[in-house]
């Protein structure tokens, strides 16, 4: 009986922790903030058609995101060096991509992570 009671209590704790995590994510999204890894497009995508219908231009400040609408302006801040840039979402990332954003080469240069290939970033939707 004690094992069953402990199991129930543990289950309740796990539910509470899960709900808190979901609420925290929802609050961050509602506030327009998100943190995670950023990657950048390889030069081989130059001129290729994107999900928005535009062609990729490595010299523009653009990006791909899983859910943000095309045309959304997002401030991306590199958390390692505090460099920021505002990009426009013009492509859709695959849900399986572990990054939170893929930026153009120009954006990666301004954020200072071309050599590293990726960076820990904070995203803030511009209002």
φ/ψ of residue 82, rounded to 5:
65, 10
Cα separation of 53 and 120, whole Å?
Answer: 28
> Where in the sequence is the domain holding 71, given as residue range(s)?
34-125
What's the structural domain count of the chain?
2
Please indicate, yes or no, whether residues 23 and 41 belong to a single structural domain of this protein: no
Cα separation of 79 and 14, whole Å?
Answer: 31
Please indicate, yes or no, whether residues 27 and 82 belong to a single structural domain of this protein: no
Please indicate, yes or no, whether residues 27 and 40 belong to a single structural domain of this protein: no
Query: Taking a C-beta distance cutoff of 8 angstroms, is the pair 90, 70 a contact?
Result: yes
Query: Taking a C-beta distance cutoff of 8 angstroms, is the pair 47, 56 a contact?
Result: yes
The string of pLDDT tens digits covering residues 38-89 is 999 989 999 999 999 999 999 999 999 999 999 999 999 999 999 999 999 9
**DSSP 8-state assignment for residue 49:** B
Please indicate, yes or no, whether residues 27 and 43 belong to a single structural domain of this protein: no
Please indicate, yes or no, whether residues 108 and 46 belong to a single structural domain of this protein: yes
Against a cut of 0.85, is the pTM above it? no
């Amino acid at each position: 009986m004690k094992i069953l009671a402990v199991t129930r209590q543990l289950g309740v704790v796990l539910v509470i922790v899960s709900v808190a995590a979901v609420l925290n994510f929802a609050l961050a999204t509602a506030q327009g903030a998100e943190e995670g890894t950023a990657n950048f497009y390889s030069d081989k995508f130059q001129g290729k058609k994107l999900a928005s219908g535009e062609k990729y231009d490595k010299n523009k400040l653009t990006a791909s995101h899983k859910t943000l609408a095309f045309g959304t302006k997002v401030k991306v801040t590199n958390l390692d060096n505090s460099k920021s840039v505002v990009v426009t979402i013009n492509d859709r990332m695959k849900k399986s991509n572990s990054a939170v954003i893929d930026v153009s080469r120009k954006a990666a240069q301004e954020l200072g992570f071309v050599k590293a290939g990726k960076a820990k970033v904070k995203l803030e939707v511009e209002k």
